[in-house]
Structure 1
């Protein structure tokens, strides 16, 4: 399903309703981001530093936002009283973390799992089963809810979830809906959390950039709307620069539908190929001082900035073409709203040396995210 016309047909059926639902859920995503800042206040120690497990807290924020968009439900991932491991939200979080670890092990080195059931493969199957089990409950509830609303002749367009939109499409089978949800939860959550972690890191290590971002955010205090987010040019430049330096998926995988010739080499149809896209974004011919965090390079009105006038394939954190990330706009909007809310309330410091991004299919920070969140007065 992930290749060819069937996948393209499914993708087109998701794109437009996803954009509409994101707009409908905008205020909820803002509220969830505010809730995340309150969570930071709760988990900091006396030195204002968050614990080693802070990445899991970012996962929870990601999950709450995604459930709002896909299920039109708030599941309580960020509740101040904590998350029970036996609850559906707790099982979903543990399943995603377990499946992510298993994917990294399966993709590292020789792929023995293709020939035998390795421990990593068994862990992946087990954790994906947990995720499937939780999501299937919501699929069944959504189907029941749709039947009930039809019987009552209610307006189905009123506050409908992405899941319900997909279930109403005759050309989309129930198993295809699960495929879309699995992609969004497993890949989307990891990509978003990874990007947030490194934006915090780069801004913590570059106080000048953090001050400039705060000055921009201060101009939009109060009730944010989508137009406000689009006007925050420096904030969006910080996101782009982080994605360039530390893309969450540094290696893209593709399946060739046709024969192609690259550098005089014939690569036949059906070949599975990998692109190390992150290497291009580190090349000096595309980005001066390529290893430095310089958000200004994305602003046309800044010295040395090029705005949108750049080599389109030099930085491709979301891929390109018909297989590009389906939820690109959702991810960028979520991250922008979170940054606006966090930096309105906090300054961030990081005092544990250089942090790197692992060179894996689903990248991750090489150190715990022990940031200091200093409350602004």
Structure 2
């Protein structure tokens, strides 16, 4: 018994020497308290700091191999690094530690010194079973280059996550292997996953003018091979091709949004009134309320792009044969089968699978609608080009919809605009509607926050018939904070992908050029070291001054990406969601009485339960 206690004490001293305390080891229950989890714990240290230098009883220097990794046999001529005096432990501790860990001892001369260099890429920890597959899977090119590897990770971790549904697959991998994880082989090469803000910042620091990220293979296949368009779409464009398109689109997408404000407000008012018609006697809306939010988001999109309201929120409902009804059905179908095609085995690369056929059919419906409005816009632009502009025409041009501005001013080919709008509808519209659903859920679950938000909105909207403008919307800081907090907890895209343009050292490892990285921004935003009470919905955290450490966590909060490849439509989406939320909170008290709602990944985060809200009229 005394020997066991002594061994545990010596190991505890070793861990304390590296800044690891008992709170990080509290889950251990074996007879030898540190025998199982030491490797997992030391994964959280930079790799070079995991080299422990020990001294034997003869005052010769010995060295353990990296604690977190299985070690090969050492030959007598193995080079071992001599430790500095600051890193040398006493002989008793060294002997006890070596005995517990079964460390191979190699005698070296005390004159050798060490240059602290990063460990090789192969040493990055990760699921060992995937290493066995690496040599075989490279011959089966069915998984493509898409790094949204939810299916693989979910399958690999499914059995281990049954006991705790609050742990996501990526969280499990980080908890198991440390802040940097390598997935070996099966997804067309090696993938490195990170979540620490300092690591994410280092990756973005390497970005060049044309960063490369993972594409959406099935949409690229649809655009290039099925429809024979020139470009693969904005989500799959890379390098100079993307930079050229972004430069042309940035101005129309980010400027003069105020000209659409009144019509967007009218769309929000329509949804407010439609809720009165669809709720039951208990003021509860149907479980398919997310479809209502999708209609609202699609109506906003048609106003911004086509300068017309297509009637998605008709009070009498949609005729099944109408254009809006066909678009909503196609959008819902495309969203489901896009996820199934993209995260599974990509057999559709060789022949058209049933899932791919349904996806392409849904995209064809959307494509036909987009094509119709592009042709109408082309006719207007052609007339404007042939006719000299007077002052009135100049004003009309400045207030024209985004689609016409792109065609007239930026000279983008119609096929390229089609691929752009297709991707924005299939992913962007869904992302906005689902984020809005999560925001209403968090407000319903936090009555105090909702009450405080109402108190901010009421002076701006004293009557139900009161209207907003862009200036008054910007004067609602708590509303903005609520949206930011929702996007922290449930961003539309839970992770960001990049391809490294150059070799870097990260967490003590060498990451070679061309490596795919997954930056888990949703996990970063839910870590205690980045945000206090990370699982709580606390909008107040965004209303502090710049002296608050939380305020400066730039790379812990990336709901719209970062840098050159950040979301083009973020200004539109934020304005739409803030406007609708203000109108709903002014009109209703929102309640939710069912099980907690989480998220599931279908290319974007979507609620995993029906949004059965109660919208209770305010007095």
TM-score normalized by structure 1?
0.93
2:407 alignment partner in structure 1: 167
1:185 aligns with 2:185: no
- Rounded Cα–Cα distance in structure 1 between residues aligned with 2:521 and 2:276: 37
1:248 alignment partner in structure 2: 492
1:266 alignment partner in structure 2: 511
Q: Deviations over 1:301-346 (max 9, x none)?
A: 6xx9949832211011111111100011111110000011111100
1:12 aligns with 2:237: no
- Structure number with greater CO (CA < 8 Å, separation at least 6) is 1
1:316 aligns with 2:550: no
1:63 aligns with 2:303: no
1:337 alignment partner in structure 2: 579
Structure 2 CA distance for partners of 1:68 and 1:158, relative to 1, 3 Å: same
* Structure 1 contact 299–306 (Cα < 8 Å) conserved: no
- Rounded Cα–Cα distance in structure 2 between residues aligned with 1:117 and 1:11: 32
TM-score normalized by structure 2?
0.58
Deviation at 1:273, TM superposition (A): 4.0
Which 10-residue stretch deviates more, 364-373 or 308-317? Answer: 308-317
- Rounded Cα–Cα distance in structure 1 between residues aligned with 2:333 and 2:512: 35
Structure 1: unaligned runs, 5 residues or longer: none
* Structure 1 contact 298–305 (Cα < 8 Å) conserved: no
Which 10-residue stretch deviates more, 286-295 or 20-29? Answer: 20-29
* Structure 1 contact 213–235 (Cα < 8 Å) conserved: yes
Deviation at 1:259, TM superposition (A): 4.9
1:215 aligns with 2:215: no
* Structure 1 contact 98–127 (Cα < 8 Å) conserved: yes
Deviation at 1:251, TM superposition (A): 2.5
SS at 1:254 equivalent: strand
* Structure 1 contact 71–161 (Cα < 8 Å) conserved: yes
Which protein is richer in helix relative to its size? 1
Q: Deviations over 1:144-190 (max 9, x none)?
A: 12223444545151431111111114541112211221232122111
2:259 alignment partner in structure 1: 24
* Structure 1 contact 217–340 (Cα < 8 Å) conserved: yes
Structure 2 CA distance for partners of 1:256 and 1:205, relative to 1, 3 Å: same
What count of residue pairs does the alignment treat as equivalent? 374
Structure 2 CA distance for partners of 1:306 and 1:43, relative to 1, 3 Å: farther
Which 10-residue stretch deviates more, 145-154 or 98-107? Answer: 145-154
SS at 2:518 equivalent: strand
SS at 1:46 equivalent: coil
1:283 alignment partner in structure 2: 527
- Rounded Cα–Cα distance in structure 2 between residues aligned with 1:86 and 1:107: 30
1:348 alignment partner in structure 2: 590
Deviation at 1:275, TM superposition (A): 2.8
1:142 alignment partner in structure 2: 377
Deviation at 1:95, TM superposition (A): 1.4
SS at 1:8 equivalent: helix
